[in-house]
């Protein structure tokens, strides 16, 4: 279901190519949301424009037809939809310009937990109180968390049908299935899923608008999610991620429970502090212990309150190193993360949910005074770590979770304190010195 960029009032989420919902949704950012050449609602061309059908595309439609019929899609549906498709070839364009620095996590989170999102989220909590009651009763997913996800995915529905940012999904999926070789199997499957949705009478191509990668509706469902996680929560006989938010929010709650293993009644996590001398060696976002275990080692809640459930399993995460806020992450943080596999994304949703609930900002400030590494410096750091046998997942200039884990492992190996995995200029200097 969705990618990486914020649109002032909301965010269209970040994806993971290896997963079903999020595959390639990363491109749904400000640079990837340009207006479509065809009318995003009707899928028809503007009067002054002539469609340019790429060579071989119509032949591919004929060759792909048996696949669709083998899936159970009627010949009438296939011919009606695919013979009208105008492939959205802009999906093949990628933004080749790379920023000199990567957006720091504090800016990422602050922009997505802004005053507009908090105020609008609180209004939606009140406006849809009866719906939240029903969803919580059936699925147990906290309404504030689900509301925050809604806000970041489509600005509480405002962007779901925006003709400025969204494209005809079937045009996009057809283009990708035909001409994107790296993930062709994935795109073919999602195109077939879209055809099944139409064949079932749940939607028409003209109403299926979304990201260039096919994510649609209030909470940015890919067709696979629409088919397999969708819920007819308003009882109208169809499952619809557009229109009333009932189906979209209930289906997303179901997704978080069934695929994210959401735990009813459990918090997403806590901001924490540490007693002097606390060993950060296991604060790697991977090591799992009970809250009681971490507490015995010197972890405390940052607000001074007791942990309500000492048996919950937590991992400690230092998103900005030892100088920034630290978090004990519970299973429900990872339930959010299952929707879009990015810790930054999940933290933004969890923090926004707390602010919608009435809580304040983090107690410990972000280290905004730290100089961020440039893209070239980050690549240099990754290359040096890789050469020493620490797997960063590649030298792409983006210090993600794998790079931070590799960096922390190197810090431990050389006795560098604190071993917090934070890619600072001081760490790079040390790496350069061997």
- Which of the given ranges, 50-59, 293-302, 379-388, has the highest pLDDT on average? 293-302
DSSP symbols for 36-69: PSB-TTT-PBPTT----PPTTHHHHHHHHHHHHH
Statement: residue 19 has pLDDT above 70 = no
> Residue 91 in contact with residue 174, Cβ under 8 Å?
no
Q: Choose among 3, 49, 51: nearest CA to 26.
A: 3
Q: What is the band of 339 on the pLDDT scale with cuts at 50, 70, 90?
A: very high
Statement: residue 107 has pLDDT above 60 = yes
pLDDT at site 434 = 63
pTM: 0.82
Q: What is the band of 12 on the pLDDT scale with cuts at 50, 70, 90?
A: very low
Tell me which CATH code domain 269-357 carries. Answer: 1.10.530.10
Statement: residue 378 has pLDDT above 60 = yes
Residues 6+ apart with CB under 8 A from 228: none
Q: What is the band of 208 on the pLDDT scale with cuts at 50, 70, 90?
A: very high
pLDDT at site 51 = 59
Extract the tokens encoding 168: 């005809």
How do residues 37-74 score in pLDDT, each as one tens digit? 233 333 333 433 545 788 899 999 999 999 999 999 99
What does the alpha-carbon distance between residue 119 and residue 113 come to, in Å, rounded to a whole number? 10
DSSP symbols for 201-237: TS--GGG-EE-TT--BTTTTB-HHHHHHH---TT-SS
pLDDT at site 331 = 97
The residues of the chain that CATH labels 1.10.530.10 are 269-357
pLDDT at site 421 = 86
Length of the chain counted residue by residue: 434
How do residues 231-269 score in pLDDT, each as one tens digit? 999 999 999 999 999 999 999 999 999 999 999 999 999
As a whole number, the mean pLDDT across the chain is: 86
């Amino acid at each position: 279901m969705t990618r990486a960029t914020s649109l002032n009032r909301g965010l269209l989420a970040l994806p993971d190519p290896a997963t079903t919902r999020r595959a390639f949704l990363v491109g749904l950012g400000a640079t990837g949301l340009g207006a479509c050449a065809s009318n995003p609602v009707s899928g028809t061309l503007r009067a002054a424009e002539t469609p340019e059908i790429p060579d071989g595309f119509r032949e591919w439609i004929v060759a792909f037809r048996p696949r669709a019929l083998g899936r159970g899609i009627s010949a009438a549906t296939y011919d009606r939809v695919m013979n009208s498709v105008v492939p959205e070839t802009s999906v093949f364009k990628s933004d080749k310009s790379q920023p000199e620095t990567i957006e720091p996590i504090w800016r990422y989170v602050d922009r997505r937990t802004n005053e507009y999102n908090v105020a609008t989220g609180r209004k939606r909590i009140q406006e849809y109180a009866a719906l939240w009651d029903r969803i919580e009763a059936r699925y147990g997913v906290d309404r504030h968390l689900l509301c925050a996800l809604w806000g970041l995915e489509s600005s509480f529905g405002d962007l779901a049908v925006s003709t400025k940012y969204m494209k005809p999904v079937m045009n996009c999926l057809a283009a990708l299935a035909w001409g994107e070789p790296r993930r062709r199997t994935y795109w073919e499957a999602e195109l077939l899923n879209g055809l099944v949705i139409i064949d079932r009478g749940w939607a028409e191509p003209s109403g299926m608008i979304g990201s260039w990668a096919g994510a649609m509706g209030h909470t940015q469902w890919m067709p696979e999610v629409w088919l397999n996680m969708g819920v007819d929560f308003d009882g109208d006989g169809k499952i619809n991620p557009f229109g009333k938010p009932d189906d979209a929010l209930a289906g997303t709650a179901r997704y978080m429970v069934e695929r994210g293993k959401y735990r009813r009644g459990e918090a997403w996590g806590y901001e924490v502090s540490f007693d002097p001398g606390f060993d950060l060696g296991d604060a790697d976002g991977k090591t799992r212990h009970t809250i009681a275990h971490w507490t015995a080692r010197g972890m405390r809640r940052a607000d001074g309150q007791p942990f309500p459930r000492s048996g919950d399993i937590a991992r400690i995460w230092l998103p900005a190193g030892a100088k920034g806020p630290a978090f004990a992450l519970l299973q429900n943080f990872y339930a959010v993360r299952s929707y879009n596999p990015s810790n930054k994304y999940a933290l933004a949703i969890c923090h926004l949910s707390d602010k919608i609930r009435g809580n304040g900002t983090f107690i410990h400030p972000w280290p905004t005074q730290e100089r961020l590494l440039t893209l070239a410096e980050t690549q240099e750091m990754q290359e040096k770590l890789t050469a020493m046998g620490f797997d960063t997942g590649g030298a792409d200039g983006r210090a993600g979770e794998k790079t931070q884990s590799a960096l922390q492992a190197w810090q431990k190996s050389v006795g560098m304190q604190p071993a917090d995995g934070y890619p600072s200029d001081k760490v790079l200097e040390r790496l350069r010195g061997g």
